[in-house]
């Protein structure tokens, strides 16, 4: 048996090496495409990197099942495989990713195994990220250099592969911002210094420099977004606001392309500048979402040990496609696809899964929630409320198994908990409501700019984050915007047409009449007039058609993750 274990461990190790090397190859293409302004290639490269893990995993798990045969459930051989593999990865700088890769292979090759603490890496490396101040991934600028020289040196130290549009103007913008935000509040002292990560963070049409300044006896983080416009490279703004920085790394945004020889060091630095982000969120943000899922699960297990409340049906209007439950003390919801859908829903479970897959591979532009997909997810039965168990039995019974005092769920998604927009609008003030409905409309239009038509745009399918940002989270009816047919509603001309109980004109599957949105989008009388006036474009079919034309021509419409008013050159084409 030991002789069989070594080649199997080697297979996993080789698979991980292939994954990590190919991951870095895709990542290193991002600076090239940024310099070339090759935005279609940037998007394709991002999707290919996202698909990489699962594609390799499925290939490897098939090989494993063939090599193991009837021994796929043999615990003794898996123990030996793990021992051999552990020796192979022990000294790797990305050992945590290698552990997660082993878990993934094990779960695919050992069927229906919900969790095995003896054979899997379950709690290893829990919260182990750190960064040294003298790390070789940091550039350090002492305050003794002087502000102007520091700014000039920073822009000289990063090569974006293209000429600056107006470098001197960028320097003056940055100096002015630092003076206004930092030097009006803090005094430069001995020990004051600025540090930047050497790796640049690329996403869509932007490159981001991530840094921090030690001033006032604490680290003050900042982010410098760089764009490559038709006239050249330019600094778009300087971000100090911790809320905006957090939003750049939000669960609603696509993952960054950033070189990570030692991923834990990058995450360690990010934790120092965005401290309220969880470690798993930051691994997600730099593209290692499978390890982010591992860390999320470790957080979940830790939370179960330190809490005693029960899982319950999530508040809000029950969905027609998904059953949703939550643990009140945890900022997460759990979503299961129902066994049967009530009319008018006529899709299959697999079609719903395909919609979630589409979202996982698409640019979420800060308006769609990231999810983690789990199989054979287990929960202590004692923590499941009677009402929830009844609801699950009634709606998702085919996904459930009870074994050894655990509820085992064959398939589910986890997603960040948000306040459903319809519930928020029931009791909020008029002022808060106006801000929310404005952002609701912006969310729909920004999704459209990313070639996503939400389909069911009822407020119950949107939620508010802690920062009151509106996010779309119901994906079963989404379509690509370019596949829709936006029409002006025909005007009735005859008595029969005016009083017809059903539409007298032909309506095809993907026909959309934007003017009809006015009837149902917002119900509150104090909010509806404001919403209709503020978002007139929503109800104009020609606006939707203009977006389709831009996307069909290959234009990537950049979604800025910060307000236009803080940009140094508002309106500058990108």
278 shares a domain with 142: yes
Looking only at the bridges linking them, the beta strands covering 406-416 and 332-337 are antiparallel
Torsion angle of the four alpha carbons 402, 404, 407, 410, in this order, in degrees rounded to the nearest 10: -70
Encoded tokens for 510: 């993907």
The structural domain count of the chain equals 4
Q: What is the pLDDT of residue 316?
A: 85
244 shares a domain with 313: no
Question: Does 58 fall in a domain?
Answer: yes
Q: Which one of 280, 302, 324 terminates a domain? A: 302
431 shares a domain with 382: no
Query: Between the CA of residue 517 and those of 347, 459, 489, what are the distances in Å?
Result: 24, 12, 12
504 shares a domain with 393: no
233 vs 214: CA distance, rounded Å: 28
Question: Does 100 fall in a domain?
Answer: yes
Q: What is the pLDDT of residue 71?
A: 78
291 shares a domain with 143: yes
216 shares a domain with 175: yes
- More confident: 573 or 107: 107
pLDDT at 473 over 60: yes
pLDDT tens-digit series, residues 40-58: 999 999 999 999 999 999 8
Q: What is the pLDDT of residue 67?
A: 84
501 vs 503: CA distance, rounded Å: 7
Q: What is the pLDDT of residue 126?
A: 45
pLDDT tens-digit series, residues 329-368: 999 999 999 999 988 888 899 999 999 999 998 988 899 9
Q: Which one of 365, 382, 417 terminates a domain? A: 417
Question: Does 487 fall in a domain?
Answer: yes
89 vs 97: CA distance, rounded Å: 10
Q: What is the pLDDT of residue 467?
A: 87
Reduced to 3 states, what is the DSSP secondary structure of residue 209?
Answer: strand
209 shares a domain with 74: no
Question: Does 323 fall in a domain?
Answer: yes
Strand-pairing partners, residue 368, are 472
Q: What is the pLDDT of residue 1?
A: 57
Question: Does 63 fall in a domain?
Answer: yes
Q: What is the pLDDT of residue 448?
A: 96
293 shares a domain with 151: yes
Query: Which of 7-16, 115-124, 358-367 has the least mean pLDDT?
Result: 115-124
Q: What is the pLDDT of residue 124?
A: 73
pLDDT at 134 over 80: no
**Neighbour tally for 472: CB within 10 Å:** 26
pLDDT at 127 over 70: no
315 shares a domain with 180: no
Q: What is the pLDDT of residue 128?
A: 62
> Quick one: average pLDDT of 238-246?
94
Q: What is the pLDDT of residue 125?
A: 60
Closest CA to 208 of 178, 247, 180, 264: 247
93 shares a domain with 239: no
412 vs 392: CA distance, rounded Å: 12
Question: Does 480 fall in a domain?
Answer: yes
> Quick one: average pLDDT of 276-281?
91
CB contact at 8 A, 568 and 227:
no
344 vs 298: CA distance, rounded Å: 39
The boundaries of the domain holding residue 194 are 138-302
**Residue matched to tokens 């700088």:** 93
Confidence band for 2, pLDDT divided at 50, 70 and 90: low
pLDDT at 475 over 50: yes
What H or E segment, with its residue span, contains residue 484?
none
> Quick one: average pLDDT of 8-21?
95
SS3 string of 555-574? Answer: CCCCCCCCCHHHCCCCCCCC
pLDDT at 32 over 90: yes
Average confidence score pLDDT of the chain: 92
**Angle at alpha carbon of residue 522, lines to 423 and 530, rounded to 5°:** 115
Query: Which of 2-16, 79-93, 145-159, 194-208 has the least mean pLDDT?
Result: 2-16
285 shares a domain with 202: yes
> Quick one: average pLDDT of 242-254?
92
CB contact at 8 A, 473 and 415:
yes
Confidence band for 114, pLDDT divided at 50, 70 and 90: low
The DSSP result for 328-381, as a single string, is TTSSEEEEEE-SS--TT----HHHHHHHHHHHHHS--TTTB--EEEEEEEEEEG
551 vs 559: CA distance, rounded Å: 14
> Quick one: average pLDDT of 437-444?
96
Strand-pairing partners, residue 194, are 141, 213
Instruction: Give me the active site residues, please.
Output: 370
Encoded tokens for 100: 């997660």
Would residue 455 be called left, alpha or beta, if left means φ above 0 and alpha means ψ between -120 and 50 degrees?
left
> Quick one: average pLDDT of 259-271?
94
223 vs 321: CA distance, rounded Å: 40
Question: Does 123 fall in a domain?
Answer: no
Q: What is the pLDDT of residue 387?
A: 97
Q: Which one of 417, 442, 476 terminates a domain? A: 417
CB contact at 8 A, 509 and 481:
no
373 shares a domain with 272: no
Encoded tokens for 567: 């940009």
Spatial neighbors of 212 by CB under 8 A, at least 6 apart, are 194, 195, 219, 220, 221, 222, 272, 273
With pLDDT > 70 as the criterion, what percentage of the chain qualifies?
Answer: 98
Tell how far CA 192 is from the center of its chain. Answer: 35
pLDDT at 111 over 80: no
- State pTM to two decimals: 0.93
- With residues binned 3-state (H G I as helix, E B as strand, rest as coil), the percentages for the chain, rounded to 5, are 50, 15, 35
What H or E segment, with its residue span, contains residue 224?
strand 218-229
pLDDT tens-digit series, residues 215-225: 988 899 999 99
430 vs 77: CA distance, rounded Å: 64
Q: Cα-flanking dihedrals φ and ψ of residue 194, to 5°?
A: -120, 140
Q: What is the pLDDT of residue 497?
A: 79
Question: Does 116 fall in a domain?
Answer: no
pLDDT tens-digit series, residues 489-502: 888 878 787 778 78
């Amino acid at each position: 048996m030991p002789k069989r274990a070594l080649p199997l461990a080697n297979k996993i190790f080789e698979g991980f090496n292939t994954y990590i090397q190919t991951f870095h190859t895709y990542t290193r293409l991002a600076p090239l495409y940024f310099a070339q302004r090759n935005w279609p290639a940037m998007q394709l490269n991002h999707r290919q990197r996202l698909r990489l893990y699962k594609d390799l995993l499925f290939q490897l798990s098939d090989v494993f099942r063939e090599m193991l045969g009837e021994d796929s459930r043999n615990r003794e051989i898996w123990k030996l495989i793990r021992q051999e593999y552990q020796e192979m990865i022990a000294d790797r700088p990305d050992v945590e990713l290698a552990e997660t890769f082993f878990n993934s292979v094990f779960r695919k090759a050992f069927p229906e195994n919900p969790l095995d603490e003896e054979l899997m890496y379950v709690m290893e490396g829990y919260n182990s990220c750190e960064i040294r101040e003298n790390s070789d991934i940091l550039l350090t600028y002492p305050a003794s250099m002087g502000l102007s020289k520091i700014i000039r040196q920073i822009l000289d130290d990063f090569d974006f592969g293209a000429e600056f549009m107006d470098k001197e103007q960028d320097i003056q913008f940055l100096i002015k911002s630092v003076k206004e935000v930092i030097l009006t509040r803090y005094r430069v002292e001995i020990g004051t210094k600025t540090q930047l990560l050497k790796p640049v963070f690329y996403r869509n049409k932007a490159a981001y420099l991530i840094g921090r300044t030690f001033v006032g006896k604490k680290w003050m983080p900042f982010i410098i977004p760089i764009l490559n416009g038709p006239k050249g490279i330019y600094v778009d703004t300087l971000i100090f606001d911790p809320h905006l920085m957090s939003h750049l790394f939000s669960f609603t945004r696509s993952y960054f392309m950033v070189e990570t020889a030692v991923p834990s060091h990058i995450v360690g630095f990010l934790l120092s500048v965005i401290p309220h982000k969880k470690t798993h969120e930051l691994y997600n943000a730099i593209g290692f979402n499978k390890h982010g899922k591992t860390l999320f699960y470790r957080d979940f297990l830790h939370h179960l040990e330190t809490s005693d409340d029960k899982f319950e049906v999530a508040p809000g209007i029950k969905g027609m496609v998904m059953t949703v439950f939550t643990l009140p003390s945890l900022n997460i919801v759990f979503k299961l696809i129902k066994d049967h859908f009530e009319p008018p829903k006529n899709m299959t479970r697999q079609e719903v899964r395909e919609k979630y897959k589409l979202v996982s591979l698409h640019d979420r532009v800060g308006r769609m929630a990231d999810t983690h997909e789990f199989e054979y997810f287990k929960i202590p039965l004692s923590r499941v409320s009677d009402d929830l168990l009844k609801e699950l039995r009634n709606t998702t019974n085919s996904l459930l198994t009870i074994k050894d005092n655990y509820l085992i769920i064959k398939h589910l998604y986890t997603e960040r908990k948000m306040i459903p927009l319809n519930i928020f609008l029931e009791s909020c003030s008029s002022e808060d409501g106006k801000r929310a409905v404005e952002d609701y409309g912006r969310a729909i239009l920004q999704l459209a700019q990313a070639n996503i038509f939400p389909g069911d745009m009822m407020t119950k399918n949107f939620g508010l984050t802690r920062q009151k940002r509106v996010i779309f989270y119901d994906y079963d009816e989404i379509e690509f915007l370019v596949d829709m047919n936006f029409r002006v509603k025909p005007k009735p001309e005859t008595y029969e047409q005016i009083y017809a109980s059903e539409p007298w004109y032909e309506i095809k599957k993907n026909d959309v009449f934007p003017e009809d949105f006015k009837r149902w989008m917002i119900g509150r009388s104090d909010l509806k007039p404001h919403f209709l006036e503020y978002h007139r474009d929503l109800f104009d079919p020609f606006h939707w058609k203009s977006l389709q034309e831009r996307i069909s021509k290959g234009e990537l419409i950049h979604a800025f993750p910060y307000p236009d008013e803080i940009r140094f050159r508002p309106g500058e084409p990108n």
